[in-house]
Amino acid sequence: MTSHVRVRFAPSPTGKLHIGGARTAIYNWAFARANHGTFILRIDDTDPTRSTAENTQVILRAMRWLGLDWDEGPEVGGDFGPYAQTERLDLYREAAERLLAEGRAYPCFCTPEQLEADREAARARKDPFQGYQRRCRDIDPAEARRRMDAGEPYTIRIKVPADRGDVVINDAVHGRVVFDAKELDDFVIFRSDGTPTYNFATVVDDAMMGITHVIRGDDHLSNTPRQVMVYEALGAPVPTFAHISMILGADGKKLSKRHGATSVEEYRDAGYLSDAFVNYLSLLGWSLDGETTIIPRDVLASQFSLERISKNPATFDPAKLDWMNAEYINAMSDGAFVDEILIPQLAAAGKEVSRASHTDAWWSLLASIVRPRTKMPADAAQVAAPIFASAKTLAYDEKSVAKGLAKEGMARVLDATRVALGTLSADDWKAEHIDAALEPLPDALDLKKRIVFQAVRVAECGNMVSPPLGETMQLIGRDDCLARIDRALTMAL
């Protein structure tokens, strides 16, 4: 490919940006970046009942969170604007008027009742073609203009050439797709209310913006032959089409709300990382080499190709997305994990902490034991919670206390633990020294290692599941660890 590649993502602002639309945006962005081309964001907002400025902002926020920067479009500008269809109505009217003047389109004065009567008649005579019967196609242009000027309601229809052969699409994903031109009626390109139809407006936009590749969902494949007719009528080059398969839920049905969250912002708010989310969506129908699953954004942006898009529908697997999110979290540096996940999540959990409250070494140690146990950002605050408590505020899990402390002999275990730890000074309060002090206790007490360390873990962390004990206790600090044992002694038998 060369630098002339121009692609667009053209969502309708009728609601939130959903997974399917996000994947389409990712593919367009990645294809543009991989080919040193131009990625355009265009807002197809010609549905006046559902398109809103607020929904446009929802889409822009989602695109920003996904990290899909656009080269032309809203808030960026460009040489081919405006980039919202409601601001381009004059351009559509000019294009339609030109087609009328050239005889490539014509006004249709048929009423809805007439159209329905024609359809009924076609059905009655079992006519294989039941589209528009071209009743107005041969009206004398002067007569048609007179009726238009007199205010008679009309639509504008494209004039499909009578001798037009099959419409053949060499789709970059599906290969050669053939549409029978005999099934194409002279479809409406302008409604009687003066607004363009989708198949007309989108082609005028794509032609004027120099779009070279149209990458979109295969639910648009059926629109393609009509759009080709518009390209040809306009005398514009037909772009390369790439229709990507739909995304299915685990039950094999088209992904919808019944399968769970469907909008980009829902996943953002649930704590998924943007890079992980983009990586996962990119693999729903495309692969780098058939094996690699972790594909950093820069690799996607340099290696994406239409040739590796699958024809088959993709299945959205929430468990795999969760796994990928955890992989991205685990690959973060200590500093990034602390600043981007740990501190924000602790703040969200009501903990008043800041970077300055501890040394960089302390935060790095905390990150090293919390990060591997974090699948979702919110997990980080939960795992780290005991470290940010105190002997007075630590919450004890009742079941853990019953199993780990409230048993015969546990007071003896805690007494021995306090004595062993009391030999360590504040300067020696390091994980390796703590572990070394605790290691002889099971043999000295003639108890199983699991029983001893379970009691210590519950005493220090309030539960039986926590990061490595020595590192956790180092982070808590000597004085508070000893105070926690004193408190736990009141619960032990």
Annotated catalytic residues are 257
Q: Is residue 18 within 8 Å of residue 263, measured between CB atoms?
A: yes
Distance CA 291, CA 275 (A): 19
Torsion from C-alpha of 262, 263, 266, 268, nearest 10 degrees: 120
The amino acid sitting at 432 is E
What is the amino acid identity at position 58? V
CB 26 within 8 A of CB 244: no
Rounded Cα distance, 463 and 460, in Å: 8
Which tokens sit at 480? 């508070």
* Bridge partner list, 314: 247
Amino acid letter, residue 399: K
- Of 168, 241, 170, the closest CA to residue 211 belongs to 241
The string of DSSP letters for 167-178 reads EEEEETTTEEEE
Please list, in sequence order, all residues whose beta carbon lies within 8 angstroms of the beta carbon of residue 11, skipping any fewer than 6 positions away. Answer: 17, 21, 25, 43, 44, 59
Give Cα 221 distance to the centre of its chain: 23
Closest of 41, 44, 13, 45 to residue 28, by C-alpha: 41
How many Å apart are CA 33 and CA 30, to the nearest integer? 5
Alpha-carbon gap, residue 479 to 47, rounded angstroms: 66
Among the residues of 5-151, which ranges form H helices? 19-34, 53-66, 89-101, 112-124, 141-149
Residue 164 region by backbone torsions, left for phi larger than 0, else alpha for psi between -120 and 50, else beta = beta
Contact yes or no for 245/285 (Cβ under 8 A): yes
Task: Identify the H or E element spanning 472.
Answer: helix 469-476
Tokens, residue 209 = 């913006």
**Spatial contact of 481 and 378, defined as CB atoms under 8 Å apart:** no
Radius of gyration of the chain from its Cα atoms, rounded to whole angstroms: 33
Measured CA to CA, the distance from residue 456 to residue 489 in angstroms comes to: 11
Does a cis peptide bond (omega within 30 degrees of 0) precede residue 11? no
Q: Kind and range of the H or E element at 403?
A: helix 398-404
C-alpha closest to that of 284 among 331, 217, 223: 217
